[in-house]
Amino acid sequence: MFTQWRFVISRCHAVASVTACKNRFYSANAIRIRDAINSQKVGDQLKIQGWVRSIRSQKEVLFLHVNDGSCLQNLQVVADPSLHDRKLTFGSAVQISGALVKSLHKGQDVELHASDIRIIGSCDPLDNGFLQIHTPIITSNDCEGAGELFQVELAQKDKKQNDERSHFFSIPVFLTVSGQLHLEAIAGAFSQVYTFGPTFRAENSQSRRHLAEFYMVEAEMSFTEGLEDVMKVMQSLFKTVTDNVLSQCPEDVALFHKHVSPGHKEKLDRMLHNDFKVITYTEAVHILKSCSHSFAFKPEWGSDLQSEHEKYLVQHCGNVPLFVTNYPYNLKPFYARDNEDHPNHTVAAVDLLVPGIGELCGGSLREDRLSLLQSRLEMAGLSDVYHWYLELRQFGSVPHGGFGMGFERYLQCILGVDNIKDTIPFPRFSYSCLL
């Protein structure tokens, strides 16, 4: 299996090498922006490379400010609007050819009149209306509340030098288990945000679907009206990304489906060409208790669904992805929105279960009602730690929700890989941290 993975990685390296060669070709005849600004050779034809720092398109002219890091000053580029590609945005890496002319504007001696603008690297910070946010890896919060945290401490040598301080950050800090709480804060300003980065769980597990370090894509949406809003984005993300993988990397996917997981292509097609099914947690428990299958863990209302339960539910519902909603209040973290239902007390949480894997995504509506959130944090003894989180509900809070999807489990799902450790070049799990 790892041989196939290395093959795929080598293909990626080959593509990267070709790109690097192209970039070297680009820079062969380019002039640094610092030199262009200081040049007295007005009228010379030259080529620059850099990143767009501002863009202003008018009816008859296009203005760009470009910088390559060689100086603090930007070079103004003037171009015909016909050269304005829709992918040309703030942050785009560009190569521009044209004539250096004397500028009539104050604050700059020269400007470049472009004859050609080539986008080397596009920059689209918005993906279907979502703004990418880089959430911190080091945090003082335990988002999941399960206590499966890696604590960050000074090395022993540094501890002796800093023994007057108990903690480098003055308080205990940990490797993040989720960027969700930070996304919630940012969603109060940008409404739809997401992050994609490493997350860490100190879970002592040797199972085929757990890692101590893995990647996760997480999204947060303001003005949600119900779990359906969250589930719609979860289904769209799965199908859109998978369609892109299949169209962009057909040979790599075919390699896995032929040699690693024969017959998986048909299973994947069924996932893509059918709407995901939806049942409640209560319905799920009823299905499990009514079946003749013998489970290692007896299903009971109020207990978490085990991997064997999740796989059975997906199979029972036709081997298509399955949303399970409205989990018991005590099974989900403090941020899940209270449904205030009785006698079964549940929260507006949802898990997406997929064939062969079980849980792929987990999400919820967030508790936006200050009094209910405050009482739950007080019950858990966390109101002091999360005072900042409570303040988010005091100033212009709106109903919101979101979810997270494990990237390596996603690869397991679409490629048919049995062991999650085979989806990542350097797997980290308990009692194993090579290299």
Task: Give pLDDT tens digits for 334-377.
Answer: 999 999 998 899 999 999 999 999 999 999 999 999 999 999 99
In a domain, 14, yes or no: no
Task: Give pLDDT tens digits for 226-260.
Answer: 999 999 999 999 999 999 899 889 999 999 999 99
Residues 405 and 362 in one domain: yes
Task: Give pLDDT tens digits for 286-301.
Answer: 999 999 999 999 999 9
CATH number at residue 91: 2.40.50.140
Residues 202 and 275 in one domain: yes
pLDDT, position 161: 58
Which helix (H) or strand (E) element contains residue 101?
A: strand 93-102
Identify each DSSP E strand in 128-253 by its residue range.
Answer: 130-132, 138-139, 151-152, 173-175, 192-200, 213-222
Among 87, 109, 124, the domain-final residue is 124
Among 72, 107, 124, the domain-final residue is 124
Is residue 12 very low, low, confident or very high in pLDDT (cuts 50, 70, 90)?
A: very low
The answer, yes or no, to whether residue 159 has pLDDT greater than 60, is no
Parent domain of 48 = 25-124
Is residue 119 very low, low, confident or very high in pLDDT (cuts 50, 70, 90)?
A: very high
CA distances (Å), origin 232, targets 130, 275, 296, 314, 403: 14, 10, 33, 19, 11
Residues 311 and 353 in one domain: yes
Residues 186 and 264 in one domain: yes
In contact, 187 and 400? CB cutoff 8 Å = yes
What is the 8-class DSSP label of residue 432?
Answer: B
| Overall domain count for the chain | 2
Other Cβ atoms within 10 Å of 320 Cβ, number? 18
Decide: helix, strand or coil at residue 217: strand
**What are the b/e assignments for 247-284, b being 16+ CB within 10 Å?**
eeeeebbebbbeebbeebbebbeebeeeebbebbbbeb
**How many CA atoms within 13 Å lie on the side-chain side of 204?**
2
In contact, 188 and 396? CB cutoff 8 Å = yes
In a domain, 12, yes or no: no
